[in-house]
Amino acid sequence: MSNPLPNGFSITLTSLRAQNEGAEVALTLKIADEAHSEQKRLVISTEQYCELKPARGILTLEKYEILESAAKVYSAVRRGEGILSYSANSARMLTQKLSRRGYDRETAEKASEILKAKGLINEQNDMECEVERCLRKLWGTARIRAHLWSKGFDKDALSGLDALLEDIDFAENCAQLIMKKYRDIPTAPAERHRMIAGLARYGYSMGEIKEAILKIK
């Protein structure tokens, strides 16, 4: 059921104009009551236009709210495209970034879903690239997993992490990290304890740390 308009209040779609080489449609609306009127401009994508089929004339409040929501989503999609042009983002991370830029959560999520459907967000490929960067930093599994979670990769993407890491010799990576940061195994118990704690923060298990120490010895 359409939401009723207050007496004397009207919303009229006065013009529709294709722009941006036909990729979007600009809608001009006249919003009036008994005392005054004003114009409002909404921009939606051509896909949204074909789906919603807005026509010139008086709009119900429900139809106006649908068009306004579509314009917000399209605006968020355009902003999201800009964000993705600078760096890869998971859908969850992009939603968070759009929310921080003033879009409500529902609008941000819809925009992220649209961009993912267009192939602009490929979480599997992005995750693989992020894992490669982590491995170059000589991070262990636990830190890599925590980093990916902080970047917004969901459970579906993270489910493939074990397969990506199964051939990595983390004990060897840990040994390389020891030589890079400490040059050798500390002999003083306190220094050795601090080294082990530091390696654990890099995401290595105690088993991997012990094996790495044996490799260096």
Write b or e for each residue in 41-59: b if 16 or more Cβ atoms lie within 10 A of its Cβ, otherwise e. ebbbbeebbeeeebeeeeb
DSSP 184: S
Which pLDDT band, with edges at 50, 70 and 90, does 150 fall under?
confident
Q: Decide the pairing of beta strands 10-19 and 37-45.
A: unpaired
Domain carrying residue 147: 123-216
* Residue pLDDT, tens place only, 91-149: 888 999 999 999 999 999 999 999 999 989 888 888 888 899 999 999 999 999 999 98
* Residue pLDDT, tens place only, 42-90: 999 999 999 999 999 999 989 999 999 999 999 999 999 999 988 878 8
Does 5 reside within a domain? no
- Please state the pTM of the whole predicted model: 0.70
Sign of the torsion formed by the C-alpha atoms of 94, 95, 96 and 101: positive
Does 2 reside within a domain? no
Of 190, 191, 172, 188, which is closest to residue 180 (Cα–Cα)? 172
Sign of the torsion formed by the C-alpha atoms of 137, 142, 144 and 150: negative
Least confident window among 18-27, 33-42, 58-67: 33-42
Which pLDDT band, with edges at 50, 70 and 90, does 2 fall under?
low
State the Cα–Cα distance between residues 103 and 82, nearest whole angstrom.
Answer: 15
Whole-number pLDDT of residue 153: 83
What is the CATH classification number for the domain harbouring 108? 1.10.10.10
Share of the chain above pLDDT 70, in %: 97
Whole-number pLDDT of residue 1: 44
Whole-number pLDDT of residue 167: 94
> Same structural domain for residues 163 and 86?
no
> Same structural domain for residues 72 and 23?
yes
Residue 33 CA to its chain's centroid (Å): 41
